[in-house]
Each structure stands twice: as C-alpha cells, then as structure tokens.
Amino acid sequence: MWASPIRRREARDGIIFILPWFLGLLIFILGPFIAGFYYSLTEYDSLLPAQWLGAENYRRILFGDDKFWLAVFNTVWYVSAAVIPQVILGLLLAVLLNQKARGITVFRTVFFMPSIVPIVASVSLFIFILHDRFGLLNETLYGVFGIVGPNWLTSPDWSKPSLVLWSLWGIGGGMIIYLAGLQGIPQTLYEAAAIDGAGAIRCFWKITIPLISPTILFVVIMGIIGSFQIFTPVFLLGSANYGLAAAGPMDSLLFWVVYIYNQGFFYFRMGYASAIAWLLFILLVILTLVQFRLAGRWVYYEDEAAIR
C-alpha cells in the first residue's frame, strides 16, 4: 500500500508534519500522565528520590483525611450550585436573545462580554463589589431595600454563594453555544406548530428542547468537568484575606484543585497531591461515561431519527 514512491513521500511528509504534536504527546501528555500515576504511589517531595508507598496515599486520602472530604464537599456544592443555573439560565437567556428585536446584537454583546474578561480582573472587580461595607451590592441592599447584606467574602456561609454570583456573570459563554444551536433549528417547524395552534411554551418543550438536546448535553458535560476543576477564582477569593495556601474563611473555599495545589506546591507533597489529582480524574471519567449513558434517554439526534 505504501510501496509507490509518491505514496512513500506523502507518508514521510505526513509524519514530519505531525511530528511536533507527536513529540508533545509523548513529552507533555502521556509521559506526565503515567509519571503522575507512579508518583501517586510514592512519597515524593521533588528533592529526595521518591519512596514507594503502594496504595498508601489513596488509603490515607480516602479514610484518614478530613480536609480531602471537606474539599470534595465544597467542590460538589459549587458544581451543583453553578452548573444548574449555567445550563438552565444560559438556555433561557439564549432563547431571549434569539428573538427578533431591534438592537438584539448589541444585547448579545452585552451578555457575552463578561465571559471574556480575564478571570483575575473579574475576580478583583467582584472582590470590590462584594466588599461587606464599601461594596456596591451591600450598599444597594441597604440603601434601597434596608437589608443589611452578609459578609460575602469573610463568612464561611457566603463565600461559596459569592463564587456562584461571580460564575453567573460569565454565563454568556454557554449562552453563545446555545444560541448557535437555536439558530440551527428550522423556522418552518415553529410556523407549522403555530398553524396547528401550539403556544410558545408548548413549542419550547416539544421543538426547542428536543432539537438542541445535543447542545444541552455538551454544556452539561463541559460545565461539570470545568466546575470540578475550577481553580483560579476560588484561589483568588480564598487567598484574598487569608494569604497563600489559605482557602477562605474556615476552609470554606478549599476546593479539590486548590487542595492539590496546596499539597503539591505549598507543602511539596507531590505524591500525595498526584493521588488526589488521580482521584479527580477517575471521578471525571466515571461522570462523563454516566452522562453519555444517560444521554441515550433524552438526547435526540436528527440524523439518528432519519435512519429510523
């Protein structure tokens, strides 16, 4: 098959063109991937040689580390509180911005823009807006409604809701993906439904939802994977008043990846940190597989229907 000189030259060139990527795959992805699993079975401070521990790290994390379980609790709390609005409000926002109205593109820009503001900049802004005394939010709550607002960033009960507020501001990223899905739905379906006397809400449930269900699945999966791995905003909010390696008031912002960072780069327990990272990896693989399995029940693919 690769005998002719022309085909041989093509094959040689093809390998040369993908070579940078292939080397990168070995050096920066597969190598570290395997090395990370090895480190997770050792005690390693990155200076002295790694000491073999077997499954000891995993045993200690799962059965003897309260902080790990606190990090799991905090992360799961955030994932549930942030992904659900991202999926539902993002969709509703996209439906709103899919209306034919004058100046709609300006509104699309307004809703999309916050999602591209650099995270460090937007977190700085939110640290100011959520300040318990000078912050715009608490001032407005008190000045307009007479409510004394909570200490958003310094109370263990409110630090995670603050993070959710911040994440809601960036909902425009998911909205744009939905919007593309909505614009792929043929207008004729709605016209036909209207002739048959279907109202707007019925159309939404019977046409819009089924036809963009692949997009919803995508947003759900990416939202879950991304939120489980959230680091920068949590780290910034958590260390704002408490210093590096801190995790907010009473560790209320100790998240999974923040814990990996603290163990690895603050206490230099590279083996222990690798094991925590591998646990997250395993969980994410399981969650993604479950999502795809469940998806068969509610996601509708047009090409599939055509085959039937």
Of 183-242, binders to other proteins (CB under 8 A) are 214-215, 218-219, 225, 229, 231-232, 236, 239-240
Q: Which is nearer to other proteins, 158 or 259 (CB)?
A: 259
Binding residue (CB under 8 A) for other proteins from 62, 84, 116, 147: 116
Least distance from other proteins to the Cβ atom of residue 84, Å: 18
If the CB atoms of residues 14 and 156 are measured against other proteins, the closer one turns out to be: 14
What is the distance, to the nearest Å, from the Cα of residue 277 to the centroid of all Cα atoms in its chain?
16
Q: How far is CA 99 from CA 179, 183, 247, in A?
A: 11, 11, 43
Site for other proteins in 40-59 (CB under 8 A): 46
Is 134 a binding residue for other proteins by CB under 8 A? The answer is yes
Answer yes or no whether residue 10 interacts with other proteins by CB under 8 A: yes
Closer Cβ to other proteins, 10 or 157, answer by number: 10
Q: Which of 58, 77, 169, 204 binds other proteins (CB under 8 A)?
A: 169
Asked if 11 touches other proteins (CB under 8 A), the answer is yes
Residue 61 or residue 257: which is nearer to other proteins going by CB? Answer: 257
Helices (H), the chain: 5-24, 31-39, 56-64, 66-97, 104-112, 119-129, 136-145, 159-169, 172-183, 187-195, 200-203, 209-211, 213-228, 232-240, 256-261, 270-298, 302-307
Handedness of CA 227, 231, 237, 241 (dihedral sign): positive
Place of tokens 């819009």: 208
Please identify, using beta-carbon distances, which residue of 99 and 188 lies nearer to other proteins.
Answer: 99
The structure tokens 């002739």 sit at 195
CB of 155 to other proteins, least distance (A): 18
- The dihedral through the CA atoms of 275, 279, 280, 284 has a sign that is positive
**Dihedral angle sign, alpha carbons of residues 27, 33, 39, 41:** negative
Nearer to other proteins, 53 or 129 (CB): 129
Applying CB under 8 A, the site for other proteins has a residue count of 96
Among 54, 117, 141, 151, binds other proteins (CB under 8 A): 117
The answer to whether the CB of 254 falls within 8 A of the CB of 238 is yes
**Backbone torsions φ then ψ of 135, nearest 5 degrees:** -70, 145
Q: Smallest gap, in angstroms, from Cβ of residue 147 to other proteins? A: 14
Q: Could you give the count of Cα atoms lying within 13 Å of 291 in the half-sphere of its Cβ?
A: 18
91, 123, 220, 234: residue in contact with other proteins (rule CB under 8 A) = 123
Stretch that binds other proteins, among 54-62, 78-86, 189-197, 264-272 (CB under 8 A): 264-272
Given candidates 48, 121, 195, 307, which one binds other proteins under the rule CB under 8 A? 121
Site for other proteins in 269-298 (CB under 8 A): 270, 273-274, 277-278, 280-281, 284, 288
Q: Compare residues 60 and 131 and give the one whose CB is closer to other proteins.
A: 131
Beta bridge mates, 43 = 51
Rounded Cα distance, 116 and 295, in Å: 30
Report the site for other proteins in 145-164 (rule: CB under 8 A): none
Residue 28 touching other proteins (CB under 8 A): yes
Contact 182, 94 (CB under 8 A): yes
Question: Cβ distance 91 to 98 under 8 Å?
Answer: no
- Cβ proximity to other proteins: between 37 and 77 the closer is 37
Return the residues of window 75-94 that contact other proteins according to CB under 8 A: 93
